[in-house]
Structure 1
Amino acid sequence: MRNISELPEDLLVKILLLIPTKEVVATSLLSKRWRSVWKLVPKLDFHDGSYRYHATSAAPSDFITKFLELNISPVLETFHLNLCNRRDYAPETLEKWVNVAVARNVLDLNLLYYYCCDFIPFPMSLYTHETLLVLRLQGTSIENVPSKTCFRSLKTLSLQDMRFSNDQTVERFLSCFPVLEALVIRRWIADNVKTYSICVPSLKSLEVEYLVCGYQDPRYDHGYVINAPCLKYLRIVDHFSGFCSFVNVPERLEAKIQLRFCDSEKLLGSLASARQLSLCLIPHKDPYLKGDFDQLVSQELCVMCSLDWLNIILRHSPKLRALRLSRTVSYGLNLDGVAHRHSCQNSKHERTNWERPSCVPECLMSSLETVEWIAYKGTEEEANVLKYLLENGNLSLKKRLSKVSYEILSLGRSGDGDTTVLDLEG
């Protein structure tokens, strides 16, 4: 350790920022040089699940309290608590810890509680903290929101497995974030909310999940009202709610939608200005769209439930350049960088057999450049769709196998013997 110990103190602190807090504290045993270095680290990242298996005699709450007492960093930039057992943490103790973090001008705060059907109260001192940039909550209950509350700097918010006193509490709480740009919501069946109203003028990215265990009857009085005129990215995966309405839908929106029970035509009608769409969505018996997708250039469709949309999308998307057909729909990353790809939950509904359009869509003759078909099975219906695209789209065909040995078909616009192909995924 001699060479490392000779490094400047500020560089040692940067190194310690890269390892878990319990290991940071353990470096104090290395030598006299290290006894005080850990106290300068502006970060507490505590996971009590891993702490329980760590060789220490102190209780988890004692460890956190001692760290906050001894740490002398001018600013506590990061304060992450990942807690599994509320019996170890009294509400007043949690409030005390958050008070210390607020007093130390914390910038990035996680308060994650994983114990099912139990909640920790939202710390009231946070309502006075105007410089917080990132806030992630899980297993937290929010009962009352003070009338004079404003997180003036917060741009990233994650709400997972929350409980609110009523619908109005959600709306009031979200109104406290005037510069919020990224919002992740993971709902659960006991969140005590019917209409999840998201009115955030500054919001640029919104991700919502509402997944229920086993079979649940849909609740048509549950859903969303979204008013976010600056929104650029939208991801919704909901197997439970009955409606989703938009106010002030922005142009050039990228939207990824997987819904089981909502009014699909009304939903798509409100997304007519989207630039990119991914759909896993049951159409009504005779799906119809009133307007065109004038801005749509990229479309992904789930062939398990949404192939009925294919002709409609092609007919109403004069500028479409990229089409992707798949048995699962990709939904990008959440705030923690975790990839999402959900299997179709709508595949048991009865689809009509695909029929060749009576006239060739404009985009197929002019703008469509690439078509990808992931997990192509070669069924009669799939073969008919593929044949139609090849006959009418001036496209050439490439075939290959993925790592899991199913066929990937890629069609690219022909020209000089070359084929344009998008990156392929297994």
Structure 2
Amino acid sequence: MSQGKMADDRRIKAAVDLISNLPDEILQHILCFIPIKVAITTSLLSRRWKHVWCEIPSLSLDATILTAASVNKTLSHYTAPKTKSFHLKTYRREYTPHINRWIKCAMSHNVENLSLDFWANSYPYKVPDFFYNSSSFRQLNIKLIFFHTIVPECTVSWKFLRKLSLSGCTLSDESLAKILTGCPILEYLTLCHCSELKVLDLRKSLRLRTLQIRRDMSVPGPTQIVAPHIHSLRLLNSQLSCTFVDVSSLTKAKLDICYVSADFLQTMLLKMLEKIQNVEKLTFGGNFIQVYN
């Protein structure tokens, strides 16, 4: 072996040793940025690395790629006492019996930011009762396929939740009110294509400051907004009229209204402007400009 080759090998070994000598917290943070399948393979590097991945603070499981057996095995070795974020994505019908177990596992690790992406599911999924009781949730993102129903049959207790995003849900006024009652310090609420909503009443959400709503002709709701405490509003891809009953604290608004006639847009807009006179920054989407051009 040449002297140059030996020198290169020594440099590589020194670099590997330098990385391996880093604290577990730093190594685990690094592993969060690579796919979980790759992160797990680092356990083969040496005895030092065998269990490092088992306590990574963020876990993302794409069950559209991973098998159910692989997900189960991964979670059986996962030992982090506290999980910063947990993302689960699946669309396979045969995985339905496993989903609740996977969610329960995330909750057992005191997950703070939970993301459930079932957007491509073609089968109904009922959110389990145990899901509605968590003191660890800080941020929650749920994506369901049109139109899975969310109807809490138990008391909702997400007392430390600050951000909530619901997409593709069939959600009645009563169901959303029940959810919001269990979120006393909620600050951000996003509703994307949530059907059956008619009157979005946020009067009891005293901490809520930011509201984002995305809707279209197939998902018209809500048609009335009662949100006296919000400071920021984004109303996107709205094709139907929406009445601002009370948005008296609003200081920032973005209105993206599309696919309507200029006359209808002007009438609807004038009614909206009457209710947002305290707004300091008002932005109109590109669709608004196209209509008037």
Q: TM-score range by the shorter chain?
A: 0.7 to 0.9
Secondary structure, in 3 states, of the residue corresponding to 2:165?
Answer: strand
Q: What is residue 168 of structure 1 aligned with on the other side? A: 174
Structure 1 residues not aligned, in runs of 5+: 53-58, 281-299, 307-346, 348-426
Supply the distance in 2 between the matched residues of 1:231 and 1:174 (Cα, whole angstroms).
Answer: 14
* Cα distance per residue 1:320-379 (max 9 Å; x no partner): xxxxxxxxxxxxxxxxxxxxxxxxxxx6xxxxxxxxxxxxxxxxxxxxxxxxxxxxxxxx
Q: What is residue 240 of structure 1 aligned with on the other side? A: 239
CA deviation after TM superposition for structure 1 residue 9, in Å: 2.2
Counterpart among 168, 176, 186 of residue 180 in structure 1: 186
**Under a length normalisation based on structure 2, what TM-score does the superposition of the two structures give?**
0.81
Q: What is residue 73 of structure 2 aligned with on the other side? A: 66
Q: Matches of residues 26-425 of structure 1 in structure 2 within 5 Å?
A: 26-49=41-64, 51=65, 59=67, 61-83=68-90, 85-90=91-96, 92-115=97-120, 117-139=122-144, 141-146=148-153, 148-164=155-171, 166-187=172-193, 191=195, 193-199=196-202, 200-211=205-216, 222-251=221-250, 253-259=251-257, 260=260, 263-280=268-285, 302-306=288-292
Tell me if the contact between 1:223 and 1:242 (Cα under 8 Å) persists in the aligned partners. Answer: no
CA RMSD of aligned residues (A): 2.6
CA deviation after TM superposition for structure 1 residue 269, in Å: 0.5
Query: Structure 1 vs Structure 2: percent identity of aligned residues?
Result: 23
Supply the distance in 2 between the matched residues of 1:69 and 1:96 (Cα, whole angstroms).
Answer: 11
CA change 1:109–1:18 in 2 (3 A) is same
Supply the distance in 1 between the matched residues of 2:100 and 2:287 (Cα, whole angstroms).
Answer: 47
Supply the distance in 1 between the matched residues of 2:17 and 2:247 (Cα, whole angstroms).
Answer: 62
Q: How many residues align?
A: 267
- The AA in structure 1 aligned to 2:182 is C
Tell me if the contact between 2:114 and 2:139 (Cα under 8 Å) persists in the aligned partners. Answer: yes
**Under a length normalisation based on structure 1, what TM-score does the superposition of the two structures give?**
0.57
Tell me if the contact between 1:198 and 1:224 (Cα under 8 Å) persists in the aligned partners. Answer: no
Tell me if the contact between 1:210 and 1:238 (Cα under 8 Å) persists in the aligned partners. Answer: yes
Supply the distance in 1 between the matched residues of 2:287 and 2:142 (Cα, whole angstroms).
Answer: 33
Q: What is residue 39 of structure 2 aligned with on the other side? A: 24
Secondary structure, in 3 states, of the residue corresponding to 2:242?
Answer: strand
Supply the distance in 2 between the matched residues of 1:68 and 1:207 (Cα, whole angstroms).
Answer: 34
Secondary structure, in 3 states, of the residue corresponding to 1:10?
Answer: helix
Structure with larger Rg: 1
Supply the distance in 2 between the matched residues of 1:302 and 1:240 (Cα, whole angstroms).
Answer: 11
Tell me if the contact between 1:210 and 1:240 (Cα under 8 Å) persists in the aligned partners. Answer: yes
Supply the distance in 1 between the matched residues of 2:185 and 2:120 (Cα, whole angstroms).
Answer: 31
Structure 2 residues not aligned, in runs of 5+: 1-15
CA change 1:127–1:223 in 2 (3 A) is closer
* Cα distance per residue 1:227-269 (max 9 Å; x no partner): 3333221110133333232325205x11011224672221110
Q: What is residue 350 of structure 1 aligned with on the other side? A: none
Supply the distance in 1 between the matched residues of 2:27 and 2:191 (Cα, whole angstroms).
Answer: 37
CA deviation after TM superposition for structure 1 residue 273, in Å: 1.0
Secondary structure, in 3 states, of the residue corresponding to 1:76?
Answer: coil
Higher share of residues assigned strand: 1
CA change 1:135–1:12 in 2 (3 A) is same
